[in-house]
Amino acid sequence: MLTDVYPWQRGIWASLNRLLVAERLPHAMLFAAPAGTGKRRLADAFAARMLCQSPVADTACGHCRGCELLAAGTHPDYYVLSPEGDGEKVSKVIKIDQARAVVSFAAQTAQMQGYRVIIIEPADALNTASANALLKTLEEPGQRCVFLLLTDQPTALLATIRSRCQLLPLSLPSDDDALTWLRPQLSAPAMAETLLALARGAPLAALALSEAPWFIQRGTLLDALLAVGSGADQPLTAAAAFAKMPAIEQITAWQSLLDDAVQQGLAPESPVRHSDLPLLKQLAEINAQCLLETLWQAVEARRLLDDTNVAAATIIDNLWLHWARATRQGGHHVRR
Ligand SMILES: [Zn+2]
């Protein structure tokens, strides 16, 4: 288990340790921050710190019995509450039976004579029933029992849960801190700014993005959008050229490029997120209504892909056909 926090978490790490040493930890703490900012690493490191029997310089030692059991996934005083598999799919909610199991875990005494730690992730997966089952325990979990709740979407969290947690002041790292961390990990460090902008400042998301198929192929897709928009290429020929790229990746690329182009069209002074793609300016010159309608079509395509049995290839074909129609109506031809 990684017990080191990210550089931008050192301030909050020091605060958590001060509270721990002073035995003034809240019963329940809410780690609310955008996805890709490393809050699970912070929670894991702090859980390890709480369960370690001989911490070194405020960090879990990695060698004691507590650290060994935690690394082996068998620590008796550590519990993770997350949605479970539901047949083939992972459920989106934490069920009431799971919440009840945590309540009885919290009612026991620690087996290793230290803290008991319960991680709930994502906390917004608690529905009304499972949240209600937890409320009393969250308020009074008993001696040295600490809940760490994680969420990307604090507004999706039930108010009854939120009001029982101490909100940790987690914020996005500054761009400088994020880039300092990101650059050495990239095979093309010059892409760091673009990646961070597209990941809206979340460094881990930016790193993951550097390997995402849609990110790698978005330049080719932009070329194809412009070619179809200008009539130089046929929509279904373009669709066929991307047949090997997963539909969800294609839709993500469409949305990201169109979103950026719409922003540019509305406010040409605003920074371009796809700053390495000079042709994005050409996309932004297309009629805003046409771009917005296509953006909406891409959102709809994502919904069809997620929630219906419509074949992915059909969804993508229709997106291209829409684009060809929309750009050819009313003289919205792309200048090339
Ligand atoms: Zn240890």
CATH of the domain at 280: 1.20.272.10
Which CATH number belongs to the domain containing residue 75 in this structure? 3.40.50.300
pLDDT of 128 reads: 95
Domain assignment of residue 93, yes or no: yes
Residue 299 located in a structural domain = yes
**What is the Å distance from ligand 1's center to 103 Cα?**
26
230 CA → ligand 1 middle, Å: 63
Residue 333 has a pLDDT of: 52
- Calculate how far, in angstroms, residue 39's C-alpha sits from the geometric centre of ligand 1: 21
Other C-beta atoms within 10 Å of 60: how many?
26
Structure tokens at 113: 């004579």
Distance, CA 3 to ligand 1 centroid (Å)?
Answer: 10
Containing structural domain, residue 292: 212-331
pLDDT digits 0-9 by tens, 146-156: 999 999 999 99
Indicate the number of domains in the chain: 2
Distance 264 CA to ligand 1 centre (A): 52
Cα-to-centroid distance, 137 and ligand 1 (Å)? 27
For the record, the structure tokens of 327 come out as: 């750009």
Q: If you measure from the C-alpha of residue 147 to the centroid of ligand 1, how many angstroms do you get, rounded to a whole number? A: 20
- Which of 139, 167, 195 is the endpoint of a domain? 167
Render pLDDT for 154-204 as a digit per residue (tens, 0 to 9).
999 999 999 999 999 898 999 999 999 999 999 999 999 999 999 999 999
For residues 230 and 319, membership in a common domain is answered with yes
Residue 173 located in a structural domain: no
For residue 65, how far is its CA from the centre of ligand 1 (angstroms)? 7
Looking at the structure, do residues 19 and 141 belong to the same domain, yes or no? yes
Tell me the CA–centroid distance for residue 55 and ligand 1, in Å: 6
Cα-to-centroid distance, 118 and ligand 1 (Å): 18
User: Cβ of 151: how many Cβ atoms within 10 Å?
Assistant: 24
Instruction: Tell which of 137, 167, 197 closes a domain.
Output: 167
> Looking at the structure, do residues 292 and 157 belong to the same domain, yes or no?
no
Same domain, 216 and 124: no
- Residue 70 Cα, ligand 1 centroid: separation in angstroms? 9
Task: Find the 114 Cα to ligand 1 centroid distance in Å.
Answer: 12
Same domain, 155 and 17: yes
**Ion ligand 1: residues, CB < 5 A:** 52, 60-61, 64, 67
Stretches where the chain sits below pLDDT 50 are 1-2, 331-332, 336
Q: What is the pLDDT of residue 169?
A: 81
Q: Which of 51, 319, 47, 41 is nearest to 207 (CA)?
A: 41
In a domain, 194, yes or no: no
Residue 198 lies in a domain: no
Phi, psi of 188 (to 5 degrees): -125, 85
Ligand 1 centroid to Cα of residue 37, in Å, is: 25
CB 46 within 8 A of CB 3: no
What is the distance in A from the centroid of ligand 1 to the CA of 66? 6
In the reported structure, the alpha carbon of residue 285 is separated from the centroid of ligand 1 by a whole-number distance in angstroms of 59
The answer to whether the CB of 228 falls within 8 A of the CB of 327 is yes
